[in-house]
Amino acid sequence: NMAPEYGATCGFFPVDTDTLGYLKATGRSPSRIQLVEKYAKAQGMFRTSNSPDPVFTSKLGLKLEDIRPSLAGPKRPQDRVLMEGMADNFSQALEDLGTAKYARNKRVTVKGKKFDLGHGDVAIAAITSCTNTSNPSVMIGAGLLAQNAVAKGLTVKPWVKTSLAPGSQVVTEYLKEAGLQTSLNKLGFNLVGYGCTTCIGNSGPLSKPISEAINKNDLIVTSVLSGNRNFEGRVSPDVKANYLASPLLVVAYAIAGTVKINLATDPIGHDKKGNPVYLSDIWPSSHDISDTARKAVKPSMFKSRYANVFKGDIGWRKIKAQKGQTFDWNSKSTYVQKPSFFDDLGDKEVKDIQPINSANILALLGDSITTDHISPAGSIKADSPAGSYLTKNKVKSQNFNSYGSRRGNHEVMMRGTFANIRIRNHMAPGTEGGVTRHQPSKKQMSIYDAAVEYAKSETPLVVFAGKEYGTGSSRDWAAKGTRLLGVRAVIAESFERIHRSNLVGMGVAPLQFAEGDSWAKLKLDGSEKITIEGLDKLKPRQKIQMVIERAKGRKTKVNLLSRIDTQNETEYFRSGGILQYVLRQLAA
């Protein structure tokens, strides 16, 4: 699930006897386990101690003795932070995360509360994920840590919003069986449901007094979550620094209440007698975790919880489904709408690639623009273009849900493209959140509204960016939304591999600056007109010329590299995208 974050299409782990043991422990039938074993062996994917090592292009070595407790953040899952260095990491990141009006160590009062709040305080502590919360060892570990903490008289700080959202219903069963859920409840880690929550911005708002204190005083508070991703603007609109951690460390930081602490050496709190308590005092041993798991995790739990999983609950079974070979679109739905990708499919024959002449610049973006920046998955703001659309369709703000839940509706998703609350467009200095300047009016407006204005005059659009454009999740809507806004090309210093491919698949040209060139060095401000020459004679990795027309007709020519890398990709692009290509092949 996290392979795209480290630049891979997938991660492969060979099947072995431990795999078969897990299948047995989780209630799979003997026939299913035998099938898995036979298939893996027939495909040469079953590994034993006698199996030869695979041949790799390159190898990375890691000594287990060098592994130290770590988190990741505050803005990307690939940015590892040693637990002992958390305070220093946060201090160094503070300036980049926002303008701090108050001194780094100053605290502000919270209206109606008996506590204050400061930079680095943990506002959200969430045990949440579709992946690691299905791992009995870390979930039982978190429960044992909570049990030990409660026994010492430790509590969670009052400003921390806690939650527990396991990735499997079985977690509830074995935590209760082990007697650990009671301790988690005492620390505020009550079950809120199963599925995507905090990791995708579905944890709900902070309490109003805390939210007001944060925003009024420009505080940089933090979240610590056991989720998969922590890209900007994803977890909470009030929280700018987000750290990924194990479920055990989530509980620990909720007790500490701040990331400005070295949990390896500093007390996490004090017991009932006022004595300092350290993380090592409450950390469960590997033996305790494995012994508890062996007693509490039973195959019968998996069987009972998932025997009828494909039937769904009563609510699911009550949904009426239309019968037929084609989907019956409901024009009034705000969740699922017929997409417009094929509206201009036209003839079966592929037309010549339309030139990009005198395009306007929609955005000038910096380095490491993630797919979450391009197509956010979190909450929808009421005053955003997507929020206005939902309001117009009589959806109340409390029912907006998230972009991720409405990705079946292109009307919502294209309005959310480049609408991340933390994205910064250098065409509108001093702003955040999907703002641009329309040309030639120079009016400041949302990126979506500007795209609509350009579409009225049939003006093509381009986007400029820095290094590593499209990092993060392999989110298809980051490319789909870009296309729907009328963007014909993205010009960047470098592209993340999967997003580059997705852009081509949607008929958007990824074009790369030559080494040393950038939009900043070219001193672009967004008022220029852009022409891309040579697309009509497109070949894989072709050199393309860009003509920049500045004020008073002054022109600059710049060489670019087309990152349409293969002949197949060239055919997809000529067809307007991979979907159009496939449909034409089927219709031929």
Give strand ranges (E) for 147-218.
161-165
pLDDT at site 252 = 98
Query: Cα–Cα distance between 232 and 219 in angstroms, integer?
Result: 16
**Is residue 576 within 8 Å of residue 507, measured between CB atoms?**
yes
How high is the pLDDT of residue 167?
86
**Residue 383 resides in a domain:** no
> Is position 412 within any domain?
no
> Does residue 404 lie in a domain region?
no
Same domain, 106 and 179: yes
Q: Tell which of 278, 305, 332 closes a domain.
A: 305
Is the domain of 138 the same as that of 211? yes
d(CA 299, CA 310): 19
> Residue 200 and residue 189: Cα distance in Å, rounded?
18
Within a domain: residue 449?
A: no
Contacts of 224 (CB under 8 A, 6+ apart): 71, 122, 124, 125, 126, 243, 245, 249, 250, 253, 254, 259
| One domain, residues 573 and 496 | yes
Q: In terms of domains, do 179 and 39 share one?
A: no
For residues 225 and 265, membership in a common domain is answered with yes
Scanning 2-85, the segments in alpha helix (DSSP H) are: 17-25, 30-42
Angle separating helix axes 497-505 and 578-587, nearest 10 degrees: 50
- Give the residue from 439, 437, 407, 403 showing the smallest Cα distance to 420: 403
Residue 7's CATH number: 3.40.1060.10
Residues 39 and 93 in one domain: no
Residuewise pLDDT in 10s, the chain (588 residues) = 677 767 677 888 889 999 999 888 888 889 999 999 999 999 989 999 999 888 889 898 999 999 999 999 999 888 999 999 999 999 988 877 765 555 778 899 999 999 999 999 999 999 997 777 888 999 999 999 999 999 999 999 999 999 999 988 899 999 999 999 999 999 999 999 888 888 877 778 899 999 999 999 999 999 999 988 888 888 998 999 999 999 999 999 999 999 999 999 999 999 999 999 999 999 999 999 999 999 999 888 988 888 777 888 889 889 888 888 888 899 999 999 998 887 777 666 777 788 899 999 999 999 999 999 999 988 898 999 999 999 999 999 999 988 988 999 999 999 999 999 999 999 999 999 999 999 999 999 999 999 999 999 999 999 999 999 998 887 899 999 999 999 999 999 999 999 999 999 999 999 999 999 999 999 999 999 999 998 888 899 999 999 999 988 899 999 999 999 999 999 999 988 998 888 888 877
CATH code at position 525: 3.20.19.10
Could you tell me the two tokens for 416?
């959310």
Domain boundary among 267, 284, 305: 305
Structure tokens at 402: 């998230």
Asked whether residue 48 falls in the same domain as residue 82, the answer is no
152 in the same domain as 250: yes
Cβ pair 371, 470 in contact under 8 A:
yes
> Is position 400 within any domain?
no
d(Cα 335, Cα 224) in Å, to the nearest integer?
A: 31
For residue 376 the two structure tokens come to: 């956010």
**Cβ(373)–Cβ(232) below 8 Å:** yes
Q: Domain check: are 79 and 224 in the same one? A: yes
- Domain assignment present for residue 455? The answer is no
pLDDT of residue 1: 64
Considering the domain architecture, whether residues 81 and 211 belong to the same structural domain is answered as yes
- Residue 100: its pLDDT value, please? 56
pLDDT for 98: 65
User: Is 239 inside any structural domain?
Assistant: yes
Integer distance in angstroms from the first to the last C-alpha of the chain? 36
Domain that includes residue 76, residue range: 68-305
Number of domains in the chain: 3
pTM score of the predicted model: 0.86
| 409 domain-assigned | no
Q: Are strands 356-364 and 276-277 parallel, antiparallel or unpaired?
A: unpaired
Q: Is there a single domain that holds both residue 86 and residue 57?
A: no
Domain match, 500 and 525 both = yes
